[in-house]
């Protein structure tokens, strides 16, 4: 079993996660930290972190590959090392001391993709729900609710999944890649299981919030269009151009009224990014 987390200029949170993993009662796992070209000072904090309690590998990317690209780097290394299970955890998460022992017990006999519950602001998020023609996805707060995709911040993936459908789609950079991955897995006939426990504690958007709301909206709208056109049923694919035109008109009207112009400009750029196939990391 290999736990993979991606760090970008948030080493303090990553070390907090490592500390919670160091205290596990079951230490039969590896940890791979993928650093997405953080600032030297942030990177040095990770290099200086030492413990002989768990096996930690730090991979330093020479550029920011986003969540999807960063995870893929770690996933490939974990599979090369012979892991049957790859566990994706957000670096701004932390876990109780029995997390691994409970997870091992709950993964026994399973394959496919397994959702690890995330405790956010006192609520337990079990999975996600796809809503077509919307710029964001929604979460499910009941293990037996409408569970359509596994959230990337708490995802256990058996090695057979990667053999069957490949890796996370790096066109997204961040946002929607977990939903895309889950839908591809289901289309490939793979199982999706929602666990009741164990759960990880998650601080919402501790890393991505640093990008700024306008840029985040640009990613959301670009990726939503891409996700809908790639994965939606036929009628949704047909409606995507009309939806994008509606978004452009709506935001253009807002620009004329000078209402949050930076937000409207970012959303318009996101729509144009999709139509110009400007995927991956957005160059600002």
Q: What is the CATH number of the domain that holds 52?
A: 3.90.550.10
Task: Answer yes or no: is 223 within a domain.
Answer: yes
Between the CA atoms of 228, 142, 102 and 120, what dihedral angle is there, to the nearest 10 degrees? 80
* Domains in the chain, number: 2
Distance CA 173, CA 170 (A): 5
Please check whether residues 12 and 55 belong to one and the same domain: yes
DSSP 109: T
In the sheet that holds 2-7, the strands lie side by side as 55-60, 30-35, 2-7, 85-89, 154-158, 113-115, 192-194
Please check whether residues 59 and 199 belong to one and the same domain: yes
Distance CA 127, CA 144 (A): 10
Question: Packing angle between helix 261-275 and helix 234-256, nearest 10 degrees?
Answer: 150
Task: Answer yes or no: is 282 within a domain.
Answer: no
Task: Answer yes or no: is 281 within a domain.
Answer: no
Task: Answer yes or no: is 283 within a domain.
Answer: no
- Compute CA 251 distance to the chain's CA centroid, rounded to the nearest angstrom: 28
Please check whether residues 43 and 158 belong to one and the same domain: yes
Task: Answer yes or no: is 173 within a domain.
Answer: yes
Please check whether residues 57 and 192 belong to one and the same domain: yes
One pLDDT digit (tens) per residue for the chain, 284 residues:
999 999 999 999 999 999 999 999 999 999 999 999 999 999 999 999 988 899 999 999 999 999 999 999 999 999 999 999 999 999 999 999 999 999 999 999 999 999 999 999 889 999 999 999 999 999 999 888 777 999 999 999 999 999 999 999 999 999 999 999 999 999 999 999 999 999 999 987 555 555 568 999 999 999 999 999 999 999 999 999 999 999 999 999 999 998 889 999 999 999 999 999 999 999 87
Q: What is the pLDDT of residue 50?
A: 87
DSSP 82: T
**Final residue belonging to a domain, choices 180, 209, 238:** 209
Please check whether residues 204 and 224 belong to one and the same domain: no
Please check whether residues 117 and 173 belong to one and the same domain: yes
User: CB count, 10 Å around CB of 166?
Assistant: 12
Please check whether residues 194 and 67 belong to one and the same domain: yes
Please check whether residues 8 and 100 belong to one and the same domain: yes
Please check whether residues 216 and 205 belong to one and the same domain: no
Please check whether residues 237 and 190 belong to one and the same domain: no
The DSSP string of 151-194 is -TTEEEEEHHHHHHH-S--TTSSSSSHHHHHHHHHHHTT--EEE
Please check whether residues 22 and 58 belong to one and the same domain: yes
Range of 226's domain? 212-275
Q: Which two tokens stand for residue 221?
A: 């709208």
Longest CA pairwise span in the chain (Å): 60
Question: Packing angle between helix 213-231 and helix 177-187, nearest 10 degrees?
Answer: 10
**Final residue belonging to a domain, choices 181, 209, 237:** 209
Task: Answer yes or no: is 280 within a domain.
Answer: no
Q: Is the dihedral of CA 155, 158, 163, 164 positive or negative?
A: negative
Please check whether residues 118 and 254 belong to one and the same domain: no
**Final residue belonging to a domain, choices 209, 224, 248:** 209
């Amino acid at each position: 079993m290999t736990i993979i987390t991606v760090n970008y200029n948030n080493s303090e949170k990553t070390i907090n996660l490592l500390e919670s993993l160091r205290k596990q009662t079951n230490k039969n796992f590896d940890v791979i930290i993928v650093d997405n070209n953080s600032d030297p000072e942030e990177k040095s904090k990770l290099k200086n972190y030492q413990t002989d309690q768990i096996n930690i590998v730090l991979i330093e990317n020479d550029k920011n590959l986003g969540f999807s690209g960063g995870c893929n780097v770690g996933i490939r290394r974990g599979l090369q090392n012979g892991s049957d299970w790859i566990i994706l955890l957000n670096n701004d998460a932390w876990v109780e001391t029995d997390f691994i022992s409970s997870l091992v017990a709950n993964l026994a006999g399973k394959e496919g993709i397994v959702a690890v519950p995330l405790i956010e602001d006192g609520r337990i998020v079990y999975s996600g729900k796809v809503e077509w023609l919307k710029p964001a996805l929604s979460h499910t707060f009941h293990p037996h609710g409408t569970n359509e995709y596994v959230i990337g911040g708490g995802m256990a993936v058996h090695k057979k999944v990667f053999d069957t459908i490949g890796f996370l789609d790096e066109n997204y950079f961040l946002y929607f890649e977990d939903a895309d991955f889950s839908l591809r897995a289901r289309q490939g006939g793979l199982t999706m299981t929602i666990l009741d426990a164990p759960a990880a504690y998650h601080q919402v958007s501790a890393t991505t919030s640093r990008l700024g709301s306008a840029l985040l909206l640009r990613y959301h709208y670009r990726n939503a269009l891409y996700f809908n056109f790639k994965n939606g049923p036929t009628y949704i694919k047909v409606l995507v151009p009309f939806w994008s035109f509606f978004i452009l008109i709506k935001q253009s009207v807002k620009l004329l009224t000078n209402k949050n112009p930076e937000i409207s400009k970012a959303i318009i750029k996101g729509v144009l990014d999709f139509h110009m196939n400007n995927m991956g990391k957005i160059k600002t």
